[in-house]
Amino acid sequence: MKKRKNWLIALLSMFALASCSLEEDTSSFSTPDNFYQTKAQCLSALNSCYIPLNGTYNYTLFIATEACTDIMYINSGTLDSRLDISPAKPRHGETVWTNGYKGVMYCNATINGIENSPLTEEEKLPLLGEGKIMRAFYYYLLTSFFGDVPFYTEHVADVETQQKIGRLGRMSAVETREYLIKELLEIVPLMDQVRSSEVDANRTGAATGWMLIAKMAMWNKEWGTAIDAISKLEEIYGALDQYPLSDVMFRNKNTPESIFEIQHSYVAGGLNYTSNLASICMPITRRSGTCEYDGVEIPELGDKSTCWTPWRPTAYFCQNLQTKIGGDLRAKYNMAWEYNGHAFKSVSTAPWPGPKFWCPYLDSSRDGNNYKIFRYADTLLMKAECYCQLEQDPDIAIKYLNMTRNRAGIGDYPKFRTWARLMDEIQKERGRELIGEFQRKFDLVRWGIWYTQTYENTGSSSLKENIRPCHEYYPIPDTQVVYSGYALDNKAYEAYYGSNQ
């Protein structure tokens, strides 16, 4: 939240460096006073709202949200993997905080600029919708990652506003979500009601807005609001079985089932944006100069990849939730026990990460896959959960649970017995369907079971040694606590580590 003065100058410099599919009129980029005069300029400003995602969604965020849970672990040197974190050592929390609020800042400024532009109300509507959806996404991520965080929507146009915002303390995540839900409910219904894959240039549209409403409503236990939002997505997306299961692979970009993806591209020697997740998702090791991985030739992975210590599924996942011989069609995408009938040398009870996460012809660690954050299958499991939480009609909850089970070939859920058993199965099914999609930890925290479920099932001895209940949320970096004049705090961490951490 620092250094907001002269943000537009820096922002416009980034436009010149970023790959963009839009033609931009740069003739009037000199001062904020004559910006936001055309639709092209407003779209250029909206492009900036996506930039902070690039450095946030990488292998370390994947470790923080997926590999510190009950279904996955990683024995790497990345300290987030063993929860060696504290306010003084926030690890990837520093990046999520900085980029999250950078995204909020860009969104606030862009929304303000569009609102005060000379465009017609009809022209403004989809642009404002996109800006508000992106702002809601950053706050969704911040509240899911840190819990209660500062919330503001003002455009930081002067030092006085900057100082006021810099002194904000923790604010209720529930109230933040309530505000954002209300705001999105006012504008998302007015936008084009189409699938994300049908939005021009892979921009954010109504489908992502409905998804965020449902996600935030479920955090707030507003089950009816979530159900209504998911019903809108059902009207847009239709039957799940029309979407092939193979499209869950990250290499298959902006598929019809997708709702929100982190956009990446890679062309050797050309303009590109890549991340690095695939480097912890490969069978190791690769024999130098070959495409032989752990003793097996995998031509699709090429001979130039850099492989780091990979994540592995926990025994709880690969021996209970989704076994090698259980008939679940998703298993061959989520885990790699073998390749084309050839067994790996180092696989016995725990497989390698599966082709869902592999990047074909990975060049060093330049991962050009898209990362799938929200998919339609997720919404159907969310609806199953909402009806289960309401404890009104088990048949409806089971109907939605069976949609993902049936597509995966594992048949219907057995007869309803208790709400607790049904909820347990929904939690397991979310693990099977959504593994590796940057949200398992958020689910476990939302259910109130992250600490116990992770402690009991992790395959990492160092994580098990370090884990504390306070780790369900990352700490706010102590540099930000000091900058706020101690309006911010990390009381949950102080309870375990004292005030000097």
The string of pLDDT tens digits covering residues 100-120 is 999 999 999 999 999 999 999
Out of 13-17, 22-26, 50-54, 87-91, least confident range: 22-26
pLDDT tens digits for 400-454? Answer: 999 999 999 999 999 999 999 999 999 999 999 999 999 999 999 999 999 999 9
- Looking at residue 28, its pLDDT comes to 34
Is the CATH number of domain 7-191+474-497 1.10.1750.10? no
Residue 158 pLDDT grade (very low, low, confident, very high; cuts 50, 70, 90): confident
Comparing CA positions, the residue from 336, 357, 294, 322 lying closest to residue 63 is 357
Q: Is 338 exposed, middle or buried (0-12, 13-18, 19+ CB in 10 A)?
A: middle
Q: How far apart are the C-alpha atoms of 204 and 196, rounded to whole Å?
A: 7
Q: How far apart are the C-alpha atoms of 29 and 44, rounded to whole Å?
A: 10
Out of 15-24, 31-40, 201-210, least confident range: 15-24
**Is the per-residue pLDDT at 29 higher than 80?**
no
Q: What is the mean pLDDT of residues 358-376?
A: 96
**Is the per-residue pLDDT at 16 higher than 50?**
no
Residue 489 pLDDT grade (very low, low, confident, very high; cuts 50, 70, 90): very high
* 72-73 and 292-293 beta bridge pairing: unpaired
- Looking at residue 17, its pLDDT comes to 32
Task: Tell me what percent of the residues of the chain surpass a pLDDT of 70.
Answer: 92
The DSSP-derived string for 59-85 is HHHHHHHTTTSSSEE--SS-GGGGT--
Question: Is the pTM higher than 0.75?
Answer: yes
Are 102 and 52 in contact by the 8 Å Cβ rule? The answer is yes
Residue 22 pLDDT grade (very low, low, confident, very high; cuts 50, 70, 90): very low
- Looking at residue 487, its pLDDT comes to 97
CA angle 353, 356, 358 (to 5 degrees): 70
pLDDT tens digits for 235-289? Answer: 999 999 999 999 999 999 999 999 999 999 987 766 678 999 999 999 988 889 9
Residue type, 81: S
Distance linking the first and last C-alpha atoms of the chain: 22
Q: How far apart are the C-alpha atoms of 108 and 396, rounded to whole Å?
A: 40
Structure tokens at 325: 């011989």
Q: How far apart are the C-alpha atoms of 403 and 405, rounded to whole Å?
A: 6
pLDDT tens digits for 290-336? Answer: 999 999 999 999 999 999 999 999 999 999 999 999 999 999 999 99
The DSSP-derived string for 117-165 is SSS-HHHHHHHHHHHHHHHHHHHHHHHHHHSS---------SHHHHHHH
Residue 32 pLDDT grade (very low, low, confident, very high; cuts 50, 70, 90): low
Average pLDDT, the chain: 92
Residue 224 pLDDT grade (very low, low, confident, very high; cuts 50, 70, 90): very high
- Looking at residue 500, its pLDDT comes to 57
Q: Give the Cβ contact number of residue 380 at 10 Å.
A: 23
- Looking at residue 272, its pLDDT comes to 77
- Looking at residue 235, its pLDDT comes to 98
